[in-house]
Amino acid sequence: MQRVCFVSFEIVPFTGGGIGTWLGNTLNAFQSPDTHCHVLFYGRQAISQVEFATAYPNATLHVLDVTAPGDDVLLPGQPAEPTPFESSKTWVSYALMRKLEQLERDLGGFDIIEFVDWGGPGFFTIQQKKLGRSFANTDVVVRLHGTETILRQFETRPWGYENLTLADIEHQAISQADYCVSHIKTNIIAYQETYGLPDTWATRCIVELPPIKANTDAIDTITPTSSTNLCFSSKFQGVKRPILFLAGAVEFMSASAEYTGSAIFAAFISDQAQVHQIHQIIPEHLSDRVTLATSASNEARDKVIRSSVVIFPNAFETFCFAAYEASMAGGVVVLNEKNSAFGPDTPWIDGVNCLKFDGTVAGLVALLARIFEPGNWATLGAKLAPIKYHHEPVPYWLQKRGRQIPAPAISHAPAPVSIVIPNRHGPDELLLQLQDIAAVEDRPYEIIVVDRGSDDYASRHVLDLLETSDTDNGPHSVRVLRRTTASNYAALANAGIAAAQHDIVAILPKRQRDTSSFIGAAADAIAAGGADIVLPTLRILKHYDDLDVLKFWIPLGGALRTNLFVNRFGFGAFIARRDLLIRQPFDEALPGEWSWDVLLRLAYSGSNVVVDIDRGPSVTESDLWHWSSAKEHERQRLIEGVRRNAWRMRDRLDFPWTSLGDGELTSSEWSIAPQAQVELQNARNHIAWLESERRHLIQDVPESASSGDGTLARLQAEHRAAVEAYQALANARTVRLALRLGNTVKRVLGRGR
Amino acid sequence: MLNQGDACPLGDGVIYVARAGQSLTERLRAAIQAKPDHFHPQHDTAGDAAAEPELYLNATRDTRYAHERHPVFDHVVTLFTQQWVGIRASAGSLPGAKLAIGKAAQMGPSQVRELLQILEDLKVHTVLVHGLSDGVIRAVHAIRIARPELRICAIWHGALAAWSLDEERGMAQRLFELATEGVFDSISVMKRGAHVLHPKAVPYLVPNFPPTVSLRRLRPAGSSEKRTALFGSWNNTWKNMYANVAGAALSRSIDEVISYSDVDGHLVDSSKIRRAHYRNRSHHFALLANVDLVLNATVVDCHPMVEMEALAVGTPVLRGPLDLDFGQETAFEKLLTVQSPHNIAEIVETIDRISSVPADEMADIIADYKQLVMTTAIGRYADFLKS
């Protein structure tokens, strides 16, 4: 028996939405002794076990509250709150992964875990599988319902940082999944073009017509009369083109004196802006013939649909259940032929089960004129009948397609690794780092310290000892390469990589500690083929001797969009296949941000970048400041250099220009120099201290308020000056802070589809 | 002896000793009413991240080399002066809470409040004071007044020869006065025989702890082909730099002598001398853990932290006669002690003798002595903090 878990934020009858409809249809259609379906629901709607069991008696419900996953889901030491994830969708993906790990621990593994593509919820689950950590015997699958990136080609989004991260985790989930499932073949082509996915990805995709539950199974399509209504039954959403429907209907109704029907919007509202726009353009003389029946009951809506000419001007769909339902109910279905979901290689045939127009207002008007021309229907609709639709009878998980793609087989022989440490001064830091690495005793390793002309005695002495000590200790060795101060970090790293003897290389900056467990796990994952590059999650400490992690810094994997604007790869520590770093070495001509640059080029060249959320070095926050330029002109110079290099790599993926606004806004928000942030914080701290002193003085020595003692007066004057200084600092950034607040609000409230 | 409720002169004013059961506010009022004008709240340079607050609890530098919790130090807070770096390092090796106080801390109302709150939060029974300064003196005065039930014990670092300096002598005098006044319940002078100076002085030494250092040696001391010795102190009268450096330079057992201070090449053969710079304590440990010998044959010393640090990383220490009240029969003492630190020939002989000991044997000698120091120190503190 196959255990299949569908991860979804929608499911009928508890929520609306096309995904919820598809899931409900699927659960009902594929009940069999061979399949036990589970649903991991993470939507906002509360669903009780009793309600679910009534609707789906043969399926099992699991629920995740993404706002509070719980202690049995998030174990001690794991990131446990959304802030370091920087976007709500990334956090949701992580929480889902932890919930699935809990289910795997408690119930045993699933054979299939299927995610929706929208929002990239499968991202972190896939990372864990790539690392060989969890879901070893599970196919992790993504179904193509329509991502934000796809939708954004057809409708606008408010600019923001979250758009970038969302697009990137969607992209990575789709490209890294074991395989994808699509309702129709044309989606695969569309996704491949949009994301620049290779043919190897397309060959891993499965095409499977989904089950549809028609409310009515009509034998015939209706014969339209002069009073037959025109109906828009999709969502109020830009990609569905409701304005085009209205424009076509209004133009037709204005031109045809004989036609007496109405234009009815029997549509689900997801975009109030669209509704408002529609109200604005309904002509006065037709105001009583255009109806917004958005709150109609399902029965009333079905009645309208099956007795109407139902028009789908939608620019893009991955399937469009509404069109199939309308046809099966007997309505005349009119489709935009430019929409790939209605084109060749789909069940829709012009004149047989639908009528198609060219996607323009004029084209729609012309077709409506032909439909309602007296006497013409006999010819036009002679063969028209409800679509004869049959879904795939045996779902993919029961078909012998040889699809189970196991997790990377982590070998019992630990993979050898070369560890390159660019070094200058700090012999104590170097020694401690070497001690950390020595904990990786179970594998062969070599350490290559590439020194940049350290000239203090202690550093030279330690390096001399490393060179002359018996450090070639069987499978472990330490080497020192000497360079001068003319070599920058990139040159040091390249020298170490060139000298490395093993196929896997770790780059370890100084002052990043406790790296041994990360290095070992990442090297094994790369050796097993699960990844080309592994990025660690940083543990930020207040001080190196602290045990408590202040916060986490979490990379976004091979995020092609986000990393064009801000560095979300990390702070220098990563592990990669050596051959990749030979083909794409660190750029020694850049004045900084070398790791960001090389990782972006590697990501653009198609390397499989994986995030290890469980392991990574410890570092103090003050050490991270050194990685970012404090001055605005330096920051711009570095970003331009990084982008220039990435631009040369983009032969497969053309950067979507819709993301430019997101990037401009992100850059402007993030351009507050770290030093200025420190100044602001210091000013706030000083004001808080003065207020505290004043309060305590008045409380503990009440006579000070009236004694004329100068202490209180001095405190008050100092407080006033500090407040003025703080306001002067803050005013310069008011606009940027407002933008940041706007994005924070958006993130908190969430955005629907 | 101060009794609860007593009115008692303090400086130019009068203070009232807090009564048991009084609230924090009442105790605070008792502590600061001596001379309100004397207390002016001050704040260190705003926004200057490098400046420490005048009351700094458990600063990283004071805890990173500390030993793990030990029952002897439960409910004990160790006070010391921020600027007295040697004493601070000594205190930093101890288990438990550390409170570093600015040498000129005025102990205004907010600081006294903060101090008393710290004692309450940590459930302190005993205050252990290392060294004195004006700031520490004001702090212990406030504690004694506000928390008369606490034990306050003080350890004085340094030999009496240092009393040739006015500041040292003045603070020593204050130590004894505070003991007499009842601010301190007991004191310890870290020099054998000095207990005769005050009836409250304990007759045994309370030794320093070696710090806990996580750096490990790359190879055992004395096992390298090229042997290095480190003079890691200042060039002043009692550190005896030239004798140490000259002796090491003249020894055929030593190939390189590293000094943190400039060495006049006219007086000492400079071909072996290398100048290094003390950057910070962690940087120092990296070097200390990778030299073969530390040169510390001083003429005046109590229980040197130079030796404790070397023990922590397994490096042997050439030392003068410290006249400690433990460990005289150990191989460490016999092998590494120069009886006459002025005698350069003896220094050379001692270095050569040290160098002739096999590296693994020397490592055992150091480890055994370090264990003895620890055991002795724990036992002595256990007695002292209850005395």
What is the average pLDDT across A198-211? 93
Q: In this complex, which of A456, A690, A696 lies closest to B109 when CB atoms are compared?
A: A696
The pLDDT value given to residue B13: 36
Interface of B with A (CB under 8 A): 25, 28-29, 32, 36-37, 40-41, 43, 46-47, 49, 60, 63-64, 109-110, 113, 214-216, 218-219, 224-225, 228, 258, 274-277, 279, 282-287, 289-291
Query: Is the CB of A462 inside 8 Å of chain B's CB atoms?
Result: yes
pLDDT tens-place string over residues B216-268: 999 999 998 899 999 998 888 889 999 999 999 999 999 999 999 999 877 77
Q: Is the pLDDT of residue B369 over 90?
A: yes
Residue of chain A nearest B48, judged by CA positions: A682
Residue of chain B nearest A459, judged by CA positions: B287
Q: In this complex, which of B60, B283, B289 lies closest to A545 when CB atoms are compared?
A: B60
Sign of CA dihedral A45, A51, A56, A57: positive
The pLDDT value given to residue A671: 55
User: Which of the residues A431, A550, A712 would you substitute to probe the B interface, choosing the one with the greatest number of B C-beta atoms within 10 Å?
Assistant: A431
- Whether B275 sits inside 8 A of A456 (CB atoms) is no
Split at pLDDT 50, 70, 90, the class of B342 is very high
- Whether A697 sits inside 8 A of B36 (CB atoms) is no
B206 burial via Cβ count (<10 Å: 0-12, 13-18, 19+) = buried
The pLDDT value given to residue A203: 92
What is the average pLDDT across A141-166? 91
The pLDDT value given to residue A408: 67
- Whether B36 sits inside 8 A of A701 (CB atoms) is yes
Split at pLDDT 50, 70, 90, the class of B48 is very low
Longest Cα–Cα distance in chain B = 70
Split at pLDDT 50, 70, 90, the class of A404 is low
Q: Is the pLDDT of residue B8 over 60?
A: no
The pLDDT value given to residue A276: 80
Split at pLDDT 50, 70, 90, the class of A753 is very low
- Whether B219 sits inside 8 A of A469 (CB atoms) is yes
Residue of chain A nearest B66, judged by CA positions: A545
Q: Is the pLDDT of residue B94 over 50?
A: yes
- Whether B287 sits inside 8 A of A697 (CB atoms) is no
- Whether B25 sits inside 8 A of A700 (CB atoms) is yes
- Whether B110 sits inside 8 A of A715 (CB atoms) is no
> Which residues in chain B are contacts of A428 at CB distance < 8 A?
215, 282-283, 285-286
Q: In this complex, which of A431, A699, A704 lies closest to B286 when CB atoms are compared?
A: A431
Query: Is the CB of A682 inside 8 Å of chain B's CB atoms?
Result: yes
Question: In the predicted model, what is the mean pLDDT of chain A?
Answer: 86
Q: How far is A522 from chain B (nearest CA, A)?
A: 26
The pLDDT value given to residue A168: 95
Strand, coil or helix: B348: helix
The pLDDT value given to residue A474: 67
Percent of chain A with pLDDT over 90: 57
Sign of CA dihedral A154, A269, A337, A316: positive
Residue of chain B nearest A680, judged by CA positions: B47
Q: In this complex, which of B47, B214, B224 lies closest to A432 when CB atoms are compared?
A: B214
Q: In this complex, which of A428, A697, A722 lies closest to B283 when CB atoms are compared?
A: A428
Q: In this complex, which of A457, A465, A704 lies closest to B218 when CB atoms are compared?
A: A465
CB under 8 Å, gap of 24 or more: what pairs does B269-278 form?
A: B272/B248, B273/B245, B273/B249, B274/A457, B275/A457, B276/A456, B276/A457, B276/A458, B276/B230, B277/A456, B277/A457, B278/B232
The pLDDT value given to residue A692: 73
Q: How far is A728 from chain B (nearest CA, A)?
A: 16
- Whether B113 sits inside 8 A of A696 (CB atoms) is yes
Rounded (5°) CA angle A324-A188-A183: 30
Percent of chain B with pLDDT over 90: 73
Q: Is the pLDDT of residue A446 over 50?
A: yes
Query: Is the CB of A744 inside 8 Å of chain B's CB atoms?
Result: no
Q: How far is Cα A68 from Cα A77, in angstroms, rounded to an integer?
A: 16
pLDDT tens-place string over residues B263-304: 987 777 788 999 999 988 999 999 999 999 999 999 988 899
Count the Cβ atoms, other than its own, within 10 Å of residue A394: 12
Q: How far is A469 from chain B (nearest CA, A)?
A: 8
pLDDT tens-place string over residues A490-524: 999 999 999 999 999 999 998 888 887 899 899 99
> Which residues in chain B are contacts of A427 at CB distance < 8 A?
283, 286-287
Q: Is the pLDDT of residue A674 over 90?
A: no
Q: How far is A496 from chain B (nearest CA, A)?
A: 22
Range with lowest mean pLDDT among A129-143, A402-416, B3-17, B165-179:
B3-17
Q: For tokens 């003896």, what's the residue? A: B346
* Secondary structure (DSSP) of A49-99: HHHHHHH-TTEEEEE--TT---TTTS-TTS--SSGGG-SHHHHHHHHHHHH
Residue of chain A nearest B226, judged by CA positions: A465
Take residue B101 and report the two structure tokens written for it: 């106080």
pLDDT tens-place string over residues A520-544: 899 999 999 999 999 999 998 877 7
**What is the ipTM for the molecules in this complex?**
0.84
Greatest mean pLDDT among A267-276, A408-417, B191-200 lies in: B191-200
Query: Is the CB of A432 inside 8 Å of chain B's CB atoms?
Result: yes
With contact defined as beta carbons under 8 Å apart, do B136 and B106 qualify? no
Split at pLDDT 50, 70, 90, the class of B40 is very low
- Whether B29 sits inside 8 A of A462 (CB atoms) is no
Greatest mean pLDDT among A222-236, A487-501, A657-671, A703-717 lies in: A487-501
Tell if the pTM clears 0.90, that is, is over it: no
Q: Which residue has the higher pLDDT, A654 or A663?
A: A663
Q: Is the pLDDT of residue A742 over 50?
A: no
Q: In this complex, which of B40, B274, B286 lies closest to A427 when CB atoms are compared?
A: B286
Percent of chain A with pLDDT over 70: 87
